[in-house]
């Protein structure tokens, strides 16, 4: 089956644009201006993974969070940075980011165009946990991440 | 961890360029001019999937084959077509192809530049089976795929 890509809308045929969080949290709950597009794995495909596309508008960011499952992220649009643990990685086309288990991470758009990336996860996975205030404070004291997180 | 993308070589830092088949078959064994690059899942990452990038040179093609595991394919370079079952799909940036269980499939470069795509698979998966001569003959009698397969 083909899901045709539409460059104008940067969308895929038959793939709905959804809110960032499947669990329903609203914009402002630690993230801003993010949409989620599940390209494969949400329609009964017999696979152990899901492929999603996330798009972050200018000024937007994903939630600073962690979980046991890993992320395999490939940037396909725009530019930004990824906070991963105690490090900040500037990223753009087609840089890849691996986020290991229970590692705090956040994706931030630094451009004036949409910032988008493919993100693969295990189909069976644990729920994400937002960073605690203590963890945010610790990242503020860590030179590479100071001023980089968004809450 | 970041794997920086190098646009000039179209490669990722720390990702080796390997032969198409992990099982060692050589160019000419039903495929031509294909390289494989395992971006994530080959270094002990605790995930149920692997992310690979395949690149097909002009005139090249992957092997016409099938297996129980599925493919989730996203084109990121050049253009070509995918034979999937009895159908042929022209594909280019960032079209997505889903290949279901035991469905014959083949990717063919139709351009004069490299044709490349990301391909996600389950980490635990069965071995691919090449199309039989009878199946190739059947695809030749099927109007949409006639003249489209390469062996």
Distances (CA, A) of B111 to A10, B52, B77: 23, 21, 10
Rounded Cα distance, A57 and A116, in Å: 9
Q: What single-letter DSSP state applies at residue A142?
A: S
B31 Cα to chain A: minimum distance (Å): 22
Out of B5, B98, B101, closest to residue A95 by CB: B5
Buried-exposed string B3-19: b where 16+ CB fall within 10 A, e elsewhere: bebeeeebbbeebeeee
CB contact under 8 A, A122 and B1: no
- Which candidate in B73, B83, B88, B119 is catalytic? B119
Distance from CA of A23 to the nearest CA of B (A): 22
Q: What is the pTM of this model?
A: 0.96
Phi, psi for residue A58 in degrees, rounded to 5: -55, 135
Q: Can B122 be counted among the known catalytic residues?
A: no
Task: Name the phi and psi angles at A134, rounded to 5.
Answer: -60, -40
Classify residue B133 by its DSSP letter.
H
Contact of A83 with chain B, judged by CB distance below 8 Å, is answered with: no
Chain A residue closest to B2 (CA)?
A97
Torsion sign (Cα): A85, B17, B47, A56 = positive
Active site residues of A: 119
CA distance A113 to A62: 16
Longest dimension (CA), chain A: 49
Confidence of residue A23 (pLDDT cuts 50, 70, 90): confident
- For B8-26, write each residue's pLDDT tens digit: 999 999 999 999 988 888 8
Q: What is the pLDDT of residues A124-139, one digit of tens each?
A: 999 999 999 999 999 9
CA distance, residue A31 to nearest chain B CA (Å): 22
């Amino acid at each position: 089956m083909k899901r045709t890509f539409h460059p104008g809308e940067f969308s895929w045929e038959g793939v709905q644009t959804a809110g960032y969080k499947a669990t329903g949290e609203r914009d402002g709950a630690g993230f801003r201006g993010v949409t989620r597009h599940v390209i494969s794995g949400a329609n009964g495909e017999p696979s152990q993974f899901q492929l999603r596309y996330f798009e972050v508008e200018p000024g937007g960011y994903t939630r600073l969070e962690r979980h046991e499952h890993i992320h395999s992220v490939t940037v396909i649009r725009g530019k930004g940075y990824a906070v991963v643990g105690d490090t900040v990685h500037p990223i753009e086309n087609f840089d890849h980011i691996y986020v290991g288990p229970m590692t705090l991470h956040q994706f931030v758009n630094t451009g004036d165009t949409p910032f988008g990336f493919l993100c693969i996860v295990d189909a069976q996975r644990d729920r994400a946990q937002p960073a605690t205030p203590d963890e945010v404070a610790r990242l503020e004291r860590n030179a590479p991440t100071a001023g980089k997180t968004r809450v």
